[in-house]
């Protein structure tokens, strides 16, 4: 299997699973606000690892992953139907922490002195010399 084909298949899986989530096709009360951040398909197309970000608490993330794992058979069936592929891989869901890590890093950067907004005493004097 070529790398180009598995990359294309991963992109199609990402799009289709995102569409299923956006259209609320997966009916499970445990499912929170979930975004598919990426998909990796094995070279032999036996497995697809779906990375998801969950907006919410750690418990909501855990519940959402459980809901997605529970819906794995439905998602796999839908992918086979929509993409018309002979062999649909087993689907595994993994929580992607990269978005929250990026947010945390951004907050740390904003706390650096060079990113702080100037205070009144740091402001340049007016034309008449007053601050």
**Contact in structure between 49 and 40 (CB atoms under 8 Å):** yes
In a domain, 61, yes or no: yes
In a domain, 130, yes or no: no
Give pLDDT, residue 126. 59
Tokens of 98: 């990269």
Give pLDDT, residue 10. 95
Say which CATH number the domain at 71 has: 3.30.300.20
Give pLDDT, residue 111. 85
3-state secondary structure (DSSP) of residue 125 = coil
Owning domain of residue 19: 3-118
Give pLDDT, residue 121. 47
DSSP 2-30: -HHHHHHHHHHHHHHHHHHHHTT-S--TT
Indicate the pairing of strand 47-55 with strand 90-95: parallel
CA distance 68 to 33: 12
State how many domains the chain has: 1
Give pLDDT, residue 43. 92
In a domain, 76, yes or no: yes
In a domain, 68, yes or no: yes
* Model confidence pTM above 0.85: no
In a domain, 128, yes or no: no
Sign of the dihedral defined by the CA atoms of residues 65, 18, 13, 99, in that order: negative
CA distance 131 to 120: 8
In a domain, 126, yes or no: no
From first to last of the 131 residues of the chain, give the pLDDT tens digit: 678 889 999 999 999 999 999 999 999 999 999 999 999 999 999 999 999 999 889 999 999 999 999 999 999 999 999 999 888 999 999 999 777 777 778 888 888 888 776 654 455 555 655 55
């Amino acid at each position: 299997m070529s790398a180009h084909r598995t990359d294309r298949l991963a992109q199609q899986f990402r799009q289709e699973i995102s569409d299923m989530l956006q259209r609320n096709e997966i009916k499970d009360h445990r499912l929170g606000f979930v975004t598919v951040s990426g998909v990796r398909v094995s070279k032999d197309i036996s497995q697809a690892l779906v990375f998801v970000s969950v907006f919410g608490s750690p418990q909501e993330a855990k519940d959402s992953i459980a809901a997605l794992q529970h819906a794995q058979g439905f998602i796999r069936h839908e992918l086979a139907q929509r993409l018309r592929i002979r062999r649909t891989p087993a689907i595994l869901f993994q929580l992607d922490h990269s978005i929250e890590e990026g947010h945390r890093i951004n907050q740390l950067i904003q706390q650096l002195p060079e990113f702080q907004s100037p205070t009144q005493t740091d402001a340049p004097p007016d034309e008449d010399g007053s601050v």
